[in-house]
A and B are shown apart, each in its own frame.
Chain A
Amino acid sequence: MSDLVIRTRGMTRKFGDVTAVNEVDLEISRGMIYGFLGPNGCGKTTSMRMLTGLLTPTSGELEVLGNTLPRDAENLKYRIGYMTQSFSLYRDLSVRENLQFFSKIFGLGRREEKQRIAELLDLYDLTDLARQRAGSMSGGQRQRLALAAAVLHKPDLLFLDEPTSAVDPESRRDFWEQLFDLSDGGTTIVVSTHFMDEAERCHRIAIMEHGNKRADGTPAELMADMATNVLEIEGDDLRTLRKELTALPQVRSAAQLGARLRVLVSKDIADPEAWFRALPQSKEAQRVSKVRPNLEDVFVTNTGVMPEPVKSEEGSGQ
């Protein structure tokens, strides 16, 4: 891999007695889309705020784009873009006025500003909305505007804090297309999410829980290295079966998905299918098969916590 854009050793942040981020080591290379995956309150936002220089770490070494944080935080401002979790542009200004404001703040020249804004309006499909006030736009439109503002000054490193939490699935897909375009252009992107499908699109992810990094790797690596095998069981009384299976020590978790039960069985058992058939409970089951793990399985295996199935604001994220 090429040179490192972000490197942390033992990054820790405490709020009073609460440790929001605990001894996190990160290495993020140039051009990568790196995801923080975790439930609300796991320390994603706090980590991001420390990496942008907004929060002072309680302890640990942080190096971002060659600058030591928090000392050189001000040097970063021209080189990073930050899209906050909640919409943080001016609702009472129009799309164009918002972009004009930030381009002046970032010191773009008059001609450069005009050109760049036209480019961004076109790229993010905002040209028709240029005169509309940001406050009256939909979630997806606001998010495109926020992204446009965050990349206005062509940052080397882009932080996106749960960028798609207020957006419909269609806009989410388009949004990720735009992220890949940016990534291809050489921008390093750090994104936090609690959506599995989003995490799966990242080049590399870190699974976070209670401020600790539980796993780190490419989605494929994480699935391959998982400490469990995945069984899918079809049967009649799945609810009872689920209860009985969860009680077994070899079973990491069991979750019902419609007419199937998805069971994570420890890798200590060499042939999980045979193991299951030998159980007395297997009489209930009609069909058992070992399936390919997905990222949700990785997440559950690494944290023992069910990820948030519904989108919600991460209020306790700091």
Chain B
Amino acid sequence: MRSLRRISAILFKEFMQLRRDRMTFGMIVMIPLMQLLLFGYAINTNVRHIPVALVDHADTGISRILVQTILATQVVDFTEHYDTVEEAQEAITGSRVRAALIIPRDLASRLARSPSIGLGTPPSTSEETSRPVAQWIVDGSDTMIAGAIKSLRAMPLTELLHKPANRSTPTFEVALFFNPEQRTVVNIVPGLVPVILTMTMIMFTSAAIVRESERGNMEMLINTPVKSIELMIGKIIPYIFIGLVQVGIILGLGYVVFNVPFNGGLLPLLGGTLLFIAASLSLGLLFSTLANSQLQAMQMTIFVLMPSILLSGFMFPYEGMPVAAQYIAEVLPATHFMRMIRGIVLRQAELADLQFDALWLAGFFVLGMALAAFRFKKRLD
């Protein structure tokens, strides 16, 4: 009973301080809001309208039609025109363009022999049978840009001669579940939940306890009958609420602004989110027992935040990483919650479907709390 009263006293005090700390209070709402809008609009893995240069040695009617056909794909924009290949290369080096299309003088005769134009197979004796009609030189350092240009490699040119497209039957049929329109934002919005919660939950809790020591409150507090565990519980409960509010903001706005569907149930969402919040808070508490200042607590948060963004599967597919990196990613709570939240929000998964990740988060929480309680002593030495 006394214990409950002490926890509620800390809880009440924490809310009061939070309400008066306008900056932190603002951040709670602004961080998810801004990042959702920013990343939701900004991150796009379908590359379009790449600025490229054109070197048209042919300069004929057919070459201009070819350029128009390529423009129609929306993959590139011809922003520069050069007379020589050297100038085009300089433009790539100077990053004015990412690629250049070089149309040779004999475009017309190459086209006539090209199978892509669908005029039938030319005599096999001809040496020039398989020569491409034109050449792309590409800044290949960015694999995503290079990939987009490479997708033009086998582009059909039948439209050039106003012939109907001659689509052959594909080898495989691909049915895209959960995101048939292939909008990047559908994957990004649920992915933002673990990223933002990692940042705010670890940062707020670690700073919250360190702040007490930094401002000298701890010296007074440890002279009272309050127990370590009561202090920790009282300190983290407000942040559980904050975490839930942030999840609400992200998924709610994601639905309203970006039309990201919410397919799953509220219960698995709540369960998964609470597990992740608990795991993050226990990590924040552990940091608070290690850090001597709020600045150090912040640095530790960044240390976890960076891999949580880059390795968790938020930006790049988990499966694409080497096995060693996958092991590291498995340690991070964000990786597990990334799978869970995308599963729940997009694929209608239940907690039972995600039990491995759920159990892992629970284990992380228990271990983190045990370590934090072990480290946190009601003494100054």
Interface residues of A (CB under 8 A from B): 49, 52-56, 70, 73-74, 77-78, 80, 82, 84, 86-93, 97, 100-102, 104-107, 149, 318
Contacts and interface: CB of A to CB of B under 8 A. Distances in A.
A70 B377 CA distance: 13
Contact of A82 (B5, B10, B20, B220): B220
A102 B5 contact: no
A63 to B, nearest CB: 18
Of B21, B217, B219, B222, most A-chain CB atoms within 10 Å: B219
Interface string B64-103: 0000000000000000000000000000000000000000
A105 B17 contact: no
Contact of B381 (A56, A74, A80): A56
A114 to B, nearest CB: 15
Given A101-B9, A101-B13, A88 B21 contact: no
A97 B12 CA distance: 10
Interface of B: 2, 5-6, 8-10, 12-13, 16-17, 20-21, 215-226, 378-381
A90 B223 CA distance: 15
A70 B380 CA distance: 12
A234 B172 CA distance: 112
A183 B43 CA distance: 69
Contacts of B5: 104, 107
B219 A93 contact: no
8 contacts: A54-B379, A55-B381, A56-B379, A56-B381, A89-B220, A90-B13, A90-B217, A101-B13
Nearest to B226: A105
What 3 A-B pairs come out closest when comparing CB atoms?
A: A104-B9, A88-B220, A77-B225
Given A105-B224, A106-B225, A88 B8 contact: no
B16 A97 contact: yes
A106 B6 CA distance: 8
Nearest to B5: A104
Contact of A104 (B6, B20, B221, B380): B6
A109 B123 CA distance: 102
Of A55, A86, A90, most B-chain CB atoms within 10 Å: A90
Given A93-B13, A93-B16, A97-B16, A102 B224 contact: yes
A53 B215 CA distance: 21
A318 B219 CA distance: 13
B9 A54 contact: no
A88 B216 contact: yes
Nearest to B379: A54
A1 B296 CA distance: 51
Contacts of A86: 216
Nearest to B231: A105
A101 B225 CA distance: 13
A105 B10 CA distance: 8
Contacts of A77: 223-225
Contacts of A149: 220
Contact of B8 (A55, A78, A104): A104
Nearest to A91: B215
Given A56-B381, A77-B223, A89-B217, 10 more contacts: A54-B223, A74-B225, A84-B216, A84-B219, A86-B216, A92-B16, A92-B21, A93-B13, A104-B5, A105-B224
Given A88-B217, A90-B217, A106-B225, A55 B6 contact: no
A54 B380 contact: yes
Contacts of A88: 215-220
A103 to B, nearest CB: 9
Nearest to A103: B9
B379 A105 contact: no
A56 B381 CA distance: 7
A262 to B, nearest CB: 38
Nearest to B3: A107
Contacts of A102: 224
B325 to A, nearest CB: 41
Contacts of B379: 53-56, 70, 73
A107 B6 contact: yes
Given A104-B5, A106-B224, A92 B380 contact: no
A89 B216 CA distance: 8
A80 to B, nearest CB: 7
Contacts of B6: 104-105, 107
A53 to B, nearest CB: 8
Contacts of B225: 74, 77-78, 105-107
Contacts of B10: 105
A100 B9 CA distance: 8
A126 B216 CA distance: 22
